[in-house]
Amino acid sequence: MYPLTDPLTQQTLTGVFRLVLPEIVLIGTACLVFLLGSLYNRRWLWFLGSLLGVVVAAVVAGVVKTGMPPAMTVAPIIPDATAGFVRWLAIISAAVFLFVTWPEVNRTNAAEYYGCLLVTVAGVSLVGRANDLITLFLALELISIPTYILLYLPSQTRPSQEAAAKYFLLSILSSAVLLFGFSYLYGVTGTTNLTAIIEGLTKANAERLSPMSLLAVVMVIAAVGFRVAAVPFHFYAPDVYEGSPAGVVAQLAFLPKVAGFVALARILGLLTTDPRHLPFDASTQVPLLLWILAVVTMSVGNILALLQDNIRRMLAYSSVAHAGYMLIGLVVASSLPDAKGRPGVGGVDALLVYLVAYGAMTVGAFAVILFLSTPDRPVESVDDLAGLGQSHPITAGSMAVFMLSLIGMPLTAGFAGKFLLFVGAFSAPADTLTMRHLYQTLAVIAAVNAAIGAYYYLRVIGVMYLRSPIRPAASSRAIPTWLAAVALAGFTLFFGFYPNPLEKAARKAVPVAAGSRTAENR
Amino acid sequence: MYDPLGLAFTILGLLLGATVLTALLSGTVVLKRAAHWPLIIACGTSAVLAILLLLQVWKAGTVPRFVSDPITWFAAGKLTASVSLVVDPLSSIMLAMITFIATWIAIFSSGYMREGHRIDRGYVRYFAVMGLFVFSMCGLVLANNFLLLMGFWEGVGLCSYLLIGYYYDKPSAAAAARKAFLVTRLGDIGFLLGIFLLWKVGGWNTDLTALFDHIQKSPPDPTTLTTACLLLFCGAVGKSAQFPLYVWLPDAMEGPTPVSALIHAATMVTAGVYLIARCAPLFALVPDAQLVVAWIGGITAALAAFIAVAQTDLKRVLAYSTVSQLGYMFIALGTMGAVSPLFAVTAAMFHLFTHAFFKALLFLASGSVMHAMGNVIDMRRFGGLRRVMPVTHLTFLCGALALAGVPVLSGFWSKDMILEALQFGSAGAHANAGSFYALLLIALATAGLTAFYTFRAYFLTFWGETRVPEEAGHHAHESPSSMVFPLLVLAVGAIGVGVVAGPATHWFGDFLARTPSLRQAATIVGVAEPAPHFNWGIAGVSTLLALGGVGLAGLAYGNGGPERVPVAIEPVFTLSRNKLYVDEVYSALLVRPIEWLGAMARVFDQFLDALARLISAVPGFLGGLIRPIQNGLVQFYALAMALGLAVFLSFVVFLISR
């Protein structure tokens, strides 16, 4: 029978649009903004228009109820709990970014800027629910392509042009590698549907390991490694973070990371309903590869961040280091097939909590930098923040909260995230042949790294409160950015004091982890 | 609104709200002058609500306990800390007492903390921290989770640090604040260890009610439980200033006097007694721990009473008397296994309750004296104040009579109850009956000493010729009405609260005995509760001792004037005046060796520092090595990525082809 005549397949394919309505709203708004932007260019207008689009998307996401498509092996979109989590994360971050980027937008580029931002966010949300290699690739490119424009758009200075060109070239390279990997996956399994690929590979690899599938997944890891800034695919990060507009960097530091980690978890089969059987379990050495990637990434990120005087380069390496911490989640999650008992903290839920916390603190730090930067007094080096404690007490307080959270101090969201990741690694099973005590070692290495990290974050706090400025920081009028920074600081503190709701949401977003915890404790 | 738990949450919300509001008032001068209002209003309203709450609990059915649905604060693995409140007779009595006393102290403070129309420099800070103090204490008594309780417990410690060190530019105040914080922290270490030990043996529970039920059902081995109980008691010893950690409390006098009243009467030191009373179902299981509690209480009571005899600082006399009276309460708690826990805990809590009234009164009255004397509190420098400050004199007298245990006043009834508990304990066939007999004798001796030193202070301050230090200026006068009125209210309390709640109606005992956790303890011990009756023997002996002490003090100091000590007992006085050389002994036995150890540690530390610097230079050095790779050339970056991919691929190929 020709597959398309199967009624379930038809039902699945026609029902797809209902599953991506909020994304359609976002991209539709973006198209409207692009089109009308050539007629009227007012910052306020497009700010409000985009905000309206985001709100409508949120309402649609909240109102429209969706069920699982009847035939998963042909469905290009999977509306599962993880997808829901990522969608809400994307929509909320869209609203935050609209506020954060306020001073960077001017009347000539407002429409393009906000349009690109909406498309990027829609891309992130789509990555969360892509169940097909083609949808996934499309969603990832929906993030990359607007980013090229955004990097170039706000300031056409030489450093920013250089940064944009570097990012463009290297991103294209990584996309090529990704496509290469995808083509192998297609070649091995004969389908582009992820559910079918994972099911097929799980069965096939359990009998006899297919080296081709392994090559494919290594290429995918390498390509996604570029998006999450994992070593050695991180090289663009410091140069791009330094040269590009701060608001765009804030997006670049957060959105591709969310997309990258979710995509990787999806492809590695960590988000399926049966994560006890993975296509790439410990016998395929993929967890070991991820382990090495995590260790190298966090160590190189932290060590190089130590040497930076430029605060943006410092934050770039810090984002590399945090990518390393987050990789722990994937390592732990891919150990589940070997677990005899049920681990207290799963890998992916810890990763999701960490992504949220990381987003709040990193975007917040960039928001503070953006707020304080004016054309005649830019904030470049760490020393430019000197005396901020006196001149801008609330801004400095927010920055201190972000830095403490990046260190992982208790009572900040960063601590909750690190705690879950480390506990996950510490309680992961150590009885497989390849991994042995590597999980505990990983937790220890991560803790040592966190200690190294404390040095350069604390330096920022020290400079802000203990040094007096040569030239005091400018008094900025970018109120929306300031509001966003303070709100993010409040968010960081709130989920530091009371991380339970966030934890619960993340646990719900990962089917198996929820089951294991309820079985054990409550 | 009339739901008990709703009331409890409202009270906490009000107090926290008042704290935040007060902190926000620091903006302008006009608002600063009004900084006392939020706290007074919040405390007053909470006191009314707490009394309503008490009535609700009173009217509740056979099991007067309301536990709020736990809100998970954080959870990790098996450890769950939840925000959960418990309202039962024990916590509602504490709550009503704390808020009631705090209200009057707050009103008193609004007068004390200003000189004429000039408010003190830290006026706003004072009321904000005081609000937080009362809030923490209310949270402490309401908490139904050990970790939550610990949180409020530390909150109380923090606030006491901030208030004792209120005059932070005065070195002695800063030192006293540090001492109070560090010494109580010493006990808190034990407390925290105890919590985790109980968590481990108590079925991974941290909620008090669940933990008690679990331990009652499946008791762990006695040694472990004894250890856990003694560790909890460590926390109580620190917070409630018991031997050997009592040394912080007398120094805590460096804070403003109303703060002393708050610490001594309502908020801080009662926390330890409350903790043991709350954990009665645990202590009931372990006689050894009970005995330790009783003996620590007995030693503290006698020691502190002896030291109080020769102190020349009025507030210090009162401070040592608090230490001594707290010792009494712990003695009563220690008899928990020999007599029914219902009776033992009731005796302790009743004494805590009456003590709160008369000790707050005594401190506020001495604050009133201090206010009039230009901040002089040395009894050698003033005297005969009864003509200058008639109201302060009379109210102080009420407090002193109550503290001395003169019949009919409140202190008499509660002290008798403790003596009675001891008598029951020593009369029974309990294994520790001998100890309780010795403790009964100690307690009686202490009662006599108490009457003596209280009235020594009273006569030295208020009798004899009127003498006023020059700091007071020429217009030593009675305090303003905002200070006098609270004194009058508390004086009525000090006189009447004992007889009204105790022997006349048995309200206090009957109500407290309905507390489910105490009933649980009583079931565990299984000793019948003695019927309420008046024990003439005990009452007679204690009355004689009290009157004897007062009379002796009257003979020696009735004429006022400077203190004349007969040569025969001069050495005893010297010993007492120098606090039995306890500070010196501590200094020689603990501080010196620790200082020496510290010096050694410093040398070792420098070595470690050098080592650490060496290690910490490693990341930087490594960074310097790999930094040149980041050369800014995009073609190199692309090459690095390709090489990275190649390495990964060959890694996997190598491993799987092995």
Q: What are A86-109's pLDDT values in tens digits?
A: 999 999 999 999 999 998 888 888
Which pLDDT score, from 0 to 100, does residue A432 have?
Answer: 61
pLDDT range class, residue A356, cuts 50, 70, 90: very high
Mean pLDDT, rounded, for A455-462: 88
Per-residue model confidence as pLDDT tens digits over B195-244: 888 888 887 888 888 888 888 888 888 888 898 899 999 889 988 888 88
Which pLDDT score, from 0 to 100, does residue B577 have?
Answer: 72
Q: Residue B141: CB partners within 8 Å, gap ≥ 6?
A: B90, B91, B94, B95, B98, B274
Q: How far out from the chain centre does Cα A382 lie?
A: 25
Of residues A310 and B182, which shows the higher confidence score?
Answer: A310
Which pLDDT score, from 0 to 100, does residue A338 have?
Answer: 67
Asked if A306 and B623 come within 8 Å (Cβ–Cβ), the reply is yes
**pLDDT above 80: residue A344:** no
Q: Which residues of B touch A310 (CB under 8 A)?
A: none
**pLDDT above 70: residue B613:** yes
Which pLDDT score, from 0 to 100, does residue A343 have?
Answer: 61
Asked if B644 and A214 come within 8 Å (Cβ–Cβ), the reply is no
Please indicate if any CB of chain B lies within 8 Å of the CB of A170: yes
Least reliable range by pLDDT among B236-250, B259-273, B501-515: B501-515
Of residues B508 and B645, which shows the higher confidence score?
Answer: B645
Contact residues, A window 375-434, toward B, CB-based 8 Å cutoff: 416, 419-420, 423, 427
Q: Which residues of A touch B644 (CB under 8 A)?
A: 222, 225, 231-233
Per-residue model confidence as pLDDT tens digits over B335-392: 888 888 888 888 899 999 899 888 989 988 888 888 888 777 887 788 788 888 888 8
Which pLDDT score, from 0 to 100, does residue A43 have?
Answer: 87
Asked if A285 and B652 come within 8 Å (Cβ–Cβ), the reply is yes
Please indicate if any CB of chain B lies within 8 Å of the CB of A222: yes
Asked if B75 and A503 come within 8 Å (Cβ–Cβ), the reply is yes
Per-residue model confidence as pLDDT tens digits over A34-61: 999 888 888 889 999 999 999 999 999 9
Partner-chain residue, chosen from B75, B620, B649, that has the shortest CB–CB distance to A500: B75
Instruction: Determine contact, residues B488/B395, Cβ cutoff 8 Å.
Output: yes
Per-residue model confidence as pLDDT tens digits over B71-83: 777 666 677 778 8
Q: Which residues of A touch B76 (CB under 8 A)?
A: 344-345, 419-420, 423
Of residues A122 and B38, which shows the higher confidence score?
Answer: A122
B248 to chain A, closest Cα gap in Å: 30
**pLDDT above 70: residue B533:** no
Mean pLDDT, rounded, for B573-593: 74
Q: Which residues of B touch A303 (CB under 8 A)?
A: 619-620, 622-623, 626
Determine what percent of chain B is predicted with pLDDT higher than 70. 94
Mean pLDDT, rounded, for B258-264: 86
Determine what percent of chain B is predicted with pLDDT higher than 90. 8
pLDDT range class, residue A517, cuts 50, 70, 90: very low
User: What residues are paired with A310 via a beta bridge?
Assistant: A381
Partner-chain residue, chosen from B626, B638, B655, that has the shortest CB–CB distance to A300: B626
Least reliable range by pLDDT among A187-196, A482-491, B32-41, B588-597: B588-597
pLDDT range class, residue A522, cuts 50, 70, 90: very low
**Mutate which of A500, A503, A516, A522 to test chain B, going by most B C-beta atoms within 10 A?**
A500
Q: How far apart are CA B60 and CA A109, in angstroms?
A: 69
Share the mean pLDDT of chain B.
84
**pLDDT above 60: residue A516:** no
Which pLDDT score, from 0 to 100, does residue A297 have?
Answer: 94
Which pLDDT score, from 0 to 100, does residue A83 have?
Answer: 93
Which pLDDT score, from 0 to 100, does residue B180 have?
Answer: 85
Partner-chain residue, chosen from A286, A344, A498, that has the shortest CB–CB distance to B73: A498
pLDDT range class, residue A364, cuts 50, 70, 90: very high
Instruction: Tell me the three state secondary structure of residue B244.
Output: coil
Q: Residue B234: CB partners within 8 Å, gap ≥ 6?
A: B187, B189, B190, B191, B194
A521 to chain B, closest Cα gap in Å: 7
Asked if A303 and B626 come within 8 Å (Cβ–Cβ), the reply is yes
Of residues A381 and B75, which shows the higher confidence score?
Answer: A381
Question: In terms of DSSP H, where are the helices of A153-192?
Answer: 158-189
Please indicate if any CB of chain A lies within 8 Å of the CB of B617: no
Q: Is B375 left (phi over 0), alpha (psi -120 to 50) or beta?
A: left
**pLDDT above 50: residue A521:** no
Which pLDDT score, from 0 to 100, does residue A136 have?
Answer: 95
Of residues A8 and A170, which shows the higher confidence score?
Answer: A170
Q: Which residues of A touch B78 (CB under 8 A)?
A: 344, 521
pTM score, two decimals?
0.70
* CA atoms A84, A497, B193, B197: torsion sign: negative
Which pLDDT score, from 0 to 100, does residue A513 have?
Answer: 43
Which pLDDT score, from 0 to 100, does residue B616 have?
Answer: 76
Q: Residue B387: CB partners within 8 Å, gap ≥ 6?
A: B466
Count Cβ atoms below 10 Å from residue A155 Cβ, excluding itself: 17
**pLDDT above 80: residue B428:** no
B163: amino acid identity, one letter: L
DSSP one-letter string for B9-53: HHHHHHHHHHHHHHHHTTSSHHHHHTTHHHHHHHHHHHHHHHHHH
Of residues B30 and B513, which shows the higher confidence score?
Answer: B513
Q: Which residues of A touch B69 (CB under 8 A)?
A: none
Pairs of residues, one from chain A and one from chain B, whose beta carbons lie less than 8 Å apart: 106
Share the mean pLDDT of chain A.
87
Mean pLDDT, rounded, for A16-23: 91
Please indicate if any CB of chain B lies within 8 Å of the CB of A458: no
Contact residues, A window 235-254, toward B, CB-based 8 Å cutoff: 235-236, 238-239
DSSP one-letter string for B569-620: GHHHHHHHHTGGGHHHHHIIIIIHHHHHHHHHHHHHHHHHHHHHHHHHHHHH
